[in-house]
Structure 1
Amino acid sequence: MTAADGGETADVRAALLRLRRGTGLPVAFGGLVTGADGASRVRIAELSGTATRSLNGLAIFAGHGLGGKAVALARPCAVTDYSTSRQISHEYDAAVEPEGLRAVLAVPLVVRRRVRGLLYGALRTALPLGDRALAAAVEAARDVEQALVVRDEAAALAAAAREAVAELPPRRYGSGDAAWERVREAHGALRALAPRIGDPALREELLAVSDMLTAASAAAVASAVGVVAGVGGSGSRSGVRLAPRELDVLACLAGGATNAAAARRLGLRPETVKSYLRSAMRKLGAHTRWEAVVAARRAGLLP
């Protein structure tokens, strides 16, 4: 299991707890799509409130059972009595029976029109599940969907950043080459996204990739001017140290963002962005934002 897979599993686990609190249902379980055949199989990997392990590892195929119906339709589905319902097929009765589940709802996790997983909530009595319970379950699912969107964005940015570094030409930094522009764009996007990541491991991975871009830039500059790469430690050749948020703000401004746009990207107030910018300018001895960006690049703090 990769760090990303572990983070996604944790997202599902947290959503199941929210589902139980929001609906009052005593049992919740769910999992994500696995395998090479796309959204046709969801593996149940997280259980909350269950009395047995009968559901653990169960593979849910599109069109089979309640969950499979929710996958096929890409919308929530519910039954009042699972074992006798004629609205679903019954391939999974042997796994459901040991838990004694009767009223069950299933909510698909849909990201960019593709089912990525399922959340279930259940009662051990045959009672109708009202709109309130369904709404709370859908809300829990939306939280996971948003987390998956952010994780997808993070993975795409990290891959693009590594690809940009691999394609850098052996030429002087600052020449305006398109490859360097891609590196700068990727760096700014990574710095803006990282603070929004709740998973510490994934956040550190993004920051490590952004540091890799800065190091690649510093090495190219050092090579161009005949300086030994690595002098100064962590890419700073002038001894200037910026706080993480000061660097985030400069990375956004380096891409042409206004204070207001930088505030939106970083989830900060415009006044806070101005404060970080003033602090960074003071440390860098700059009088304008562009001077600050240039000084940060010369110091090896920005690519």
Structure 2
Amino acid sequence: MKKTFCILEQGKTVNEVLTTKKKEMFTTEFSDFYRLNWFRTDDPNAFIAQKNIVWSEGRSLLYEKVPKNYDYYIFTDDDIEFYMNHNSNTIAKQIHLLLTEYQPITGTFLDKNLWHVNQRLDQSTHFPLSRKCFPIGGYDLQVQLFCKSFADLVFPVIYHGSDKSMWYSQWICYALFPLKQICFTEVQVNNLRHEDKINQKKLPQFTSGDRLLWLFNKDIKDKENIIRSQSDVFRINKKIFSLNPDKGYQYLTLKDLDKIYNVNNFYYKKRKSIGGAKDKKRDTFYHILWRLYLKRSQLMKKLRKLILRLQYRLLQL
């Protein structure tokens, strides 16, 4: 029987109380629960056990292996708690109702403690953070939901890493259908551990967040609208926060994506759940360009500091 959504969790612990709680919470008539363990192979709750992978490979592998008979796929880390301010037994049903009513392309659930959405939005827009839901341009990757048609376009992840590795999916939805990326507040989440992924950073396939953004941005068709930093994301969130989400159904295709992004680039066409696309000549070429980009950025920072000093000295004359 087709269900509305499934929860796709990944982490490294075994017999985690929070995992057991989520498995019980989301094994319902509306939903199922699947887990990947990227550190140990003796996890009784794990649908997949796969060592030596980075965070984005875990999410890609989960989507590759999970049954494709759900309307939505909700990815989460195993240190994330789902809760409501009233009866917690209805969380799965409430998510089902929200997804059915709003039909988002992608989105998340409110975490008031994170950088992408906090009390500054209330103060700057005079709209309550507590309203049922609102459109959002970008957010922390700890919890992401995708409708199936969009998940098929963004998985496997193009460039593998951890921080910022799936910002591109948020940018795509904002660029194409800005009112269909939704943050829900009736169900909220909380990060209980903030687990560091430092061990993953030592793996050869790991790519830093800034480099991931640079690699993706090179294939965006309109270079005026690229996203470089958290401040860019928050600026967009502030811009659209007061708008109402679009409830209409939207099916995404490769043709939609090609309007804003070069879908024929080598790395997108050859993307894989583990390892990603590899081509020695291309990889070397882009590595050289990345190093030049870093040097240019460093020189520009020094130049800006020098200009500020000169301006200050001129004011002292």
Q: Which has the higher helix share?
A: 1
Q: Same fold (TM over 0.5)?
A: no
Q: Normalized against structure 2, the TM-score is what?
A: 0.21
**Bigger relative CO (Cα 8 Å, ≥ 6 apart):** 2
Larger radius of gyration: 1
